[in-house]
Structure 1
């Protein structure tokens, strides 16, 4: 059994991976998010430690996690086969050691669990090091895993203070996400959108200290990725415990990360939004949102990093520059835009799909989740943040 104080969702059984049967723990409800599925809201209540939280979530969503793992082709066809090779052993050991040392309370026993859990929580940190057919390990022209695109619009003016976010992902994630609410021993509570079988959250969340965030992946070339360093999902899980905006920035900028990321951080009480781009080598750059709308897709905007030229992101950025955004309604309309047939901002493709759209309103201090295309304005759920 994993060490107390850790945060596993999967538990080992006879040297393989399995899931404990579902049990009643905390409370839950569901809201429809578009015609493709439901979004469960699970309140784990007050948890004695990270282990209790992870176990409660694993029990509640056992069937959903199993289903996601069965359909996850990246896990089944790339991560798990690689994890069983001699070449993978030192990389996985280094990842485990680095993250265990940095985050002893959060869930680094994840890596002591079967590779299904550990590998899927650090996909971007592992995929670049899987040998490619033909020995093309160092290729830089294409992204390793084109299933994690997102779009954000940030505005802070005298009349409007919002962050609007499309959570995009592989279509296989439909029906395999949920919201987790939890209260930690010190009284801090958080709410986090979570992909089945992963740490909360690789997408968006907020806590009772008035810190909120949305996330956008970015595509550094392989030479910019450090093997065996800090994994992004542990950083964002740690971010859920931030005391304030300054502490949030410290948590995402101080670790020596393996792969870069883009964070849209919100100080709900202070009515501030900042975009922070990070990269390996302790590099980061900060852009404070103002009255001029700031659009972020999945390429670095202001940190100088060698990156993959992602046509999808570039097309979305070009389209966003053509649209006028000055309100919640126009921000949602932009995130619902489908003018580009090949690379729409609102995605309903066979591979990439907009799982949900979120609007954080710092004046109302709410996070709203929308059904279907957000330009229709149909809210599925409104969460008070304070």
Structure 2
């Protein structure tokens, strides 16, 4: 299946690799150093040991697209080595009269037009529709499944990755078959990743929602409640101390705080939102996520000094079985979540 996907998206995968060539060249040189080998080897070994199916999917994608699998591995694993990276994405969860998860997918402007919706209908598995960057597994942005789950994913740059963990893209791909929110949380607790993602997960059947930080073998779970309904996440840890064992006066701790400054600013905006989504969920979330850039909002336009832009906004209303998608250019479409996970075309 992924070999066929690679053939179908060959031009997109190859174009994405061309755009990322400078970054990959730097990473490849680093991977050949003693330090790089010490990081890359254990992560790849853990991935091969625990995620053979998902690794085979990436290999099939590379074969179909006619590109070296090593290039796709470097792209997939680059967030698992503790290296600095551009950080994007803002996610909200709401649980009271309705249960909603909403996500801004922020990325490099060079990827504008590359992001697409991909539906995987695999015999014997739950159907999955995900925001997909060609050249990666469909794991690192937004996912909705026929099991009644949906989640947005935020990049967390782990300062001290876990040498025992597998690549986070592969952990996230295996998560697609979780049947419940509890099963999803259990998967993340028992399947450590070297690097870090935050998962903001909502469940249709129970109306529950939770934020799960899964970073370098450490996991923290915070569940929304009717009394505490609005939860947010950007690209810094809120519930796990990071980096561990570094006193505030340590120079590296100061460097980490500087790296997180933009993410913290977006979080400050989200924490100041006045809850009101019960009356008009899609409208409220579109206003909250797309109204303005910092310091008044979290919508990103790649205006200096911010290098990233919001490529897409997704709002999944689990209680009313609807999903709304807004493109960067402003076109908005709404359909049922049930149809969405089965690959029914979404049109404005």
Asked if Structure 1 and Structure 2 have the same fold, meaning a TM-score greater than 0.5 normalized by the shorter chain, the answer is yes
1:359 aligns to 2:315 (yes or no): yes
Equivalent residue in structure 1 for 2:74, among 119, 129, 142: 119
> Post-superposition shift, 1:227?
3.5
Aligned residues of 1:154 and 1:164 also touching (Cα < 8 A): yes
- TM-score in terms of structure 2 length: 0.81
Aligned residues of 1:293 and 1:326 also touching (Cα < 8 A): no
Equivalent residue in structure 2 for 1:318, among 236, 257, 268: 268
> Post-superposition shift, 1:177?
1.8
Aligned residues of 1:325 and 1:334 also touching (Cα < 8 A): no
> Post-superposition shift, 1:337?
3.2
Give the Cα separation in 2 of the matches to 1:325 and 1:261.
Answer: 26
> Post-superposition shift, 1:81?
3.0
Q: Structure 2: 5+ residue runs without aligned partners?
A: 63-67, 244-252, 340-348
> Post-superposition shift, 1:193?
1.1
**Map of 1:150 onto structure 2:** 89
Equivalent residue in structure 2 for 1:213, among 142, 148, 151: 151
> Post-superposition shift, 1:231?
1.1
**Map of 2:205 onto structure 1:** 269
> Post-superposition shift, 1:75?
3.3
Give the Cα separation in 2 of the matches to 1:119 and 1:65.
Answer: 14
Change (3 A) 1:382 1:240: same
Q: How does 1:67-106 map to 2 (within 5 A)?
A: 67-73=15-21, 75-85=23-33, 88-106=36-54
> Post-superposition shift, 1:154?
1.1
Equivalent residue in structure 2 for 1:188, among 126, 130, 136: 126
Q: How does 1:197-276 map to 2 (within 5 A)?
A: 197-221=135-159, 224-227=160-163, 229-276=165-212
Change (3 A) 1:234 1:267: same
* Structure with greater helix percent: 2
Change (3 A) 1:339 1:265: closer
**Map of 2:109 onto structure 1:** 171
**Map of 2:346 onto structure 1:** none
Give the Cα separation in 2 of the matches to 1:92 and 1:219.
Answer: 16
Give the Cα separation in 1 of the matches to 2:32 and 2:336.
Answer: 42
Give the Cα separation in 1 of the matches to 2:3 and 2:198.
Answer: 29
**Map of 2:248 onto structure 1:** none
Aligned residues of 2:99 and 2:319 also touching (Cα < 8 A): yes
**Map of 1:290 onto structure 2:** 225
SS at match of 2:166: coil
Change (3 A) 1:64 1:339: closer
* Structure with greater strand percent: 1
> Does 71-80 or 323-332 show the bigger shift?
71-80
**Map of 1:162 onto structure 2:** 100
Equivalent residue in structure 1 for 2:290, among 336, 343, 350: 336
